[in-house]
Amino acid sequence: DYAAQVQQVARALLDHSGPTVVLTHENPDGDALGSVLGLTRALRELGREVYAPMTLPRYLQFLPEEGELCAPLTEWPAGALAAVLDVDSNDHVRVGGAEIAAFGGPVVNIDHHGTNQRQADTLLVDPSQPATAQMMVDVLDALEVQWTEALATPLLLGLITDTGSFQFSSTTPQTLRTGARLLEYGARLNWLNEQRMQNSPTYYILLREVLNTLEFAQGGQVVLARVDDAMLERAGANWDEVDPYVGMLRNAEGALLAVLVKDYGDRVKFSLRSRGGLSAQNIAVALGGGGHVPAAGATVEAPYAEARARLDAAVAAELERLRSQPQDRRA
């Protein structure tokens, strides 16, 4: 069960005397960064050697201290353990050019994706958890860390990121209790929000471009917008600034699904957000991706027109599944 898995993970981390490489998914979000910093800081407090190779989008760069994160590793340190956080599949994890599949050492995976592939030696995987950071609080308790603001602030960032600041249905009494504890340890809630919510002028200029592509499909049940390199260039913006748009689209009245299309030309990334019983995860999985029921994503290796046709088919299938379901099962 969950408590036993927490103990196993803590033991795997404590029993390992060599370096620990802490990894997360590409294009990390606040939960990924918060979980990485929480574990990295805790293990360093315990005297461990830790590598945390990570490249951050601009809106998260305010949080780490100088030197806490490192550039991608060109090789695995001798005798390393890999702690893979907020990641559902080893396919997503790279250290420099090296796939984790080529890593011979032990792997610990802490994650809450419904699509977790359970590939690690030691697993703490629970899709009912709202954030990896929530699980990391339990792991740090099991490591018997001395709680400080430096541990609490990044983990609170993880919680508020993945719960939409305690608004999503994944928020439980336990989530709020954990949030309250982190505040008691000194977590800087207002500072986090002040820092991460600042949008550059180009964010708004790009938003104007992106809203020009707005579509309401399936009788308004699907809202979709697209961004490509030409729009970024006209706005003077970069891909870092695009991620929050889908959260704004998901508030469209009557929409069950919001889609942000990142059109890279030869391939397309779909960011999907759903509600009302529709599963973004089902759609993402149909397209070869993954994630959570309300928030998922997939990359399709095809130009937009072809990728869009595949998306439309997956959306139609998921809408049909929802229609054929008994009314009282709908969230």
Nearest-5° angle of CA 108, CA 54, CA 79?
Answer: 45
- By CB under 6 A, which span of 102-110, 200-208, 289-297, 300-308 interacts with ligand 5GP? 289-297
**Which residues ranging from 149 to 168 are in contact with Mn ion (CB under 5 A)?**
162
Q: State how far the Cα of 167 lies from the Cα of 16, in Å rounded to an integer.
A: 38
- Contacts of residue 220, defined as CB under 8 A and 6 or more positions apart, other chains included, come to 252, 254, 255
222-228 and 215-217 beta bridge pairing: antiparallel
DSSP H helices, 185-252, are 189-196, 201-211, 229-235, 245-249
**Which residues ranging from 90 to 149 are in contact with Mn ion (CB under 5 A)?**
132
CB of 152 to ligand 5GP, least distance (A): 23
Decide whether 10 or 155 has the Cβ nearer to ligand 5GP. 155
Decide whether 73 or 285 has the Cβ nearer to ligand 5GP. 285
| Contact present, 252 and 218 (Cβ < 8 Å) | no
Question: From Mn ion, ligand 5GP, none, which one binds at residue 123 (CB under 5 to 8 Å depending on kind)?
Answer: none
Number of residues that bind ligand 5GP (CB under 6 A): 15
Decide whether 80 or 111 has the Cβ nearer to ligand 5GP. 111
Regarding 86 and contact with Mn ion (CB under 5 A), the answer is yes
Residue 29's alpha-carbon distances to 24, 26, 204, 286, in angstroms, are 10, 9, 20, 23
Regarding 153 and contact with ligand 5GP (CB under 6 A), the answer is no
Q: What number of residues does the chain have? A: 331
- Of the residues 271, 274, 279, 282, which one makes contact with ligand 5GP according to CB under 6 A: 271
Cα Rg of the chain (Å, integer): 20
Regarding 88 and contact with Mn ion (CB under 5 A), the answer is no
Instruction: Fill in the DSSP letter of residue 94.
Output: E
CB of 262 to ligand 5GP, least distance (A): 9
Binding to ligand 5GP by CB under 6 A, coded x per residue (else -) over 16-35, reads: ---------x----------
Question: From Mn ion, ligand 5GP, none, which one binds at residue 32 (CB under 5 to 8 Å depending on kind)?
Answer: Mn ion
Decide whether 126 or 162 has the Cβ nearer to Mn ion. 162
Report the run of H or E that residue 40 belongs to, with start and end.
helix 30-45
- Which of these, 29, 126, 133, 19, lies nearest to 79 by C-alpha position? 19
Regarding 318 and contact with Mn ion (CB under 5 A), the answer is no
- By CB under 6 A, which span of 177-185, 220-228, 248-256, 285-293 interacts with ligand 5GP? 285-293
107-111 and 222-228 beta bridge pairing: unpaired
- By CB under 5 A, which span of 23-31, 188-196, 267-275, 303-311 interacts with Mn ion? 23-31
Regarding 119 and contact with ligand 5GP (CB under 6 A), the answer is no
Regarding 32 and contact with Mn ion (CB under 5 A), the answer is yes
- Of the residues 130, 158, 179, 289, which one makes contact with ligand 5GP according to CB under 6 A: 289
- By CB under 6 A, which span of 102-110, 168-176, 211-219, 287-295 interacts with ligand 5GP? 287-295
Residue 323's alpha-carbon distances to 87, 151, 258, 278, 317, in angstroms, are 31, 45, 18, 10, 10
Burial zone of 75 (CB within 10 Å; 0-12 exposed, 13-18 middle, 19+ buried):
exposed
- Of the residues 298, 307, 314, 319, which one makes contact with ligand 5GP according to CB under 6 A: 298
What residues make contact with ligand 5GP under the rule CB under 6 A?
25, 88-89, 113, 115, 271, 289-292, 295-299
